[in-house]
Amino acid sequence: MKANSPKMKIAVVGATGMVGSVMLKLLEERNFPIKEMLPVASSRSVGRELVFKGKLHPIIGMQEAVEAKPDIAIFSAGGSTSLEWAPKFAAVGTIVIDNSSAWRMDPSKKLIVPEINAQVITKEDKIIANPNCSTIQMVMALAPLHSKYTMKRVVVSTYQSVSGTGIKAVRQLENEIVGQRGEMAYPYPIHKNALPHCDVFEENGYTKEEMKLAREPQKILDDRTFSVSATAVRIPTAGGHSESVNVEFANDFDLKEVRNILHQTPGVTVQDNPDTNTYPMPMYAHNKDDVFVGRIRRDETQPNTLNMWIVSDNLRKGAATNAIQIAEYLLYNGLV
C-alpha cells in the first residue's frame, strides 16, 4: 500500500462469515490504510467483539453501519441482504463492493476483476459487483489468451470445495469424515462423493452456478461473441476450486507462446511440467492469492483448441482478495 494513501473508514458486512473473516485477515495482511474498522453482521452477532489488528472491535448492525457513513463497505452477506442494504449505503455516499450475486448481471453495475477491467470504474459507481469465485479464476487465465487468439467457445467443468457453500457445508464434511450425524448443507453426503449440483437448478436444467459461469465472463470481458458451457460439481475438498477448461479459439496458437503469455499475466502462476508431476492442486493454492494454471495442452480432436487445468483459493482470489483489490484500485486512483 502506498505510504501516503489516505486512511479510510471501512465496513465489512458479513464480518463473522467465512469470506468476511478472510476479508478482515487480508485487509490486515495487505496493510490497507484504515482509520476506523466497522465489522457488521446480523442481529444475533451484534454486541460481540472480534479482533482486528490486535484490537477488539464491537460488531454493529446494518442501520448503525449506514449511519456511520463508511467510505467503503465490502459486503459478503448474501444476495437478499445486498439488495436491501447496498442502496442504503450508496445513498449516504458509501461505495459498496458486493460479493453476492445480487448485482452482477445488473446492466447498470460494473462486474470487476481488477487485473482485467478495473479501468471501467468511475466515480459515479457506488455499487460494484465482485464476480463469482469460479468465474474469477477462469477469466484470469482466459482474458490474456482471448486478447491474443479470440475465444469462440469454452467448455468448463468445475470441481468445487465445500467452503464455497459456507460453514454449514464444511461442518457437514467434517462430521461425515468422523462418522458423526449433523446438519446437512447438501441433499446427499459429500464425503467420498461428488455432487453435480452447485446452487439451485434453473428451468433449462443448468444450475445457477453454471449459468454464472456462462454469463459473467461475457460481461467482464465486454464481449458476447464467445459462449461458455459449464458443469459445476461439488467435491469433498475443504478449500480451493479446480476447473477443467477447454477453449476453442478463432486463431491458432503455439503452446510455448501460451505458457509465456500466462507466465507474464499478473496474478497467474503457471505450474505445468508433466515430467516432474507439476500441476495445480487445491492443497497448493490454499491461502494464496494467485490463480494457478497447468495441464496446458492442445485438444487433438479439433483445431485451435486448448485444454487447461485452473485452480485457485475460492475464499481469497475467488472472493475476499478480489474485493479488496477493487478497494485498493479505488484508493490508488482517487475514486474514493
Is residue 322 within a helix (H) or strand (E), and if so which, with residue range? helix 321-332
Phi and psi torsions of 79, nearest 5°: -65, -45
Asked if residues 298 and 307 have their Cβ atoms less than 8 Å apart, the reply is yes
| Residues 6+ away with beta carbon under 8 Å from 75 | 13, 14, 81, 82, 85, 86, 96, 97, 98, 99, 100
Rounded to an integer, what distance in angstroms lies between the CA atom of residue 198 and that of residue 101? 14
Strands (E), the chain: 8-13, 34-40, 49-52, 55-58, 72-75, 95-98, 110-111, 127-129, 151-160, 227-234, 241-249, 268-270, 291-298, 305-312
C-alpha to C-alpha distances, 264 to 103, 225, 285, nearest whole angstrom: 31, 25, 19
Which residue type does 316 have? R
Asked if residues 307 and 244 have their Cβ atoms less than 8 Å apart, the reply is yes
C-alpha to C-alpha distances, 97 to 11, 77, 110, nearest whole angstrom: 10, 11, 10
Catalytic hit among 57, 133, 146, 198 = 133
| Residues 6+ away with beta carbon under 8 Å from 29 | none
Catalytic hit among 57, 146, 198, 241 = 241
For residue 198, indicate whether it is catalytic. no
For residue 241, indicate whether it is catalytic. yes
Chain centroid to CA 35: 26
Is residue 91 within a helix (H) or strand (E), and if so which, with residue range? helix 79-91
Asked if residues 228 and 156 have their Cβ atoms less than 8 Å apart, the reply is yes
Which residue type does 147 have? S
Rounded to an integer, what distance in angstroms lies between the CA atom of residue 19 and that of residue 319? 7
Cell of 314: 475460492
Which residues form the catalytic set?
A: 133, 241
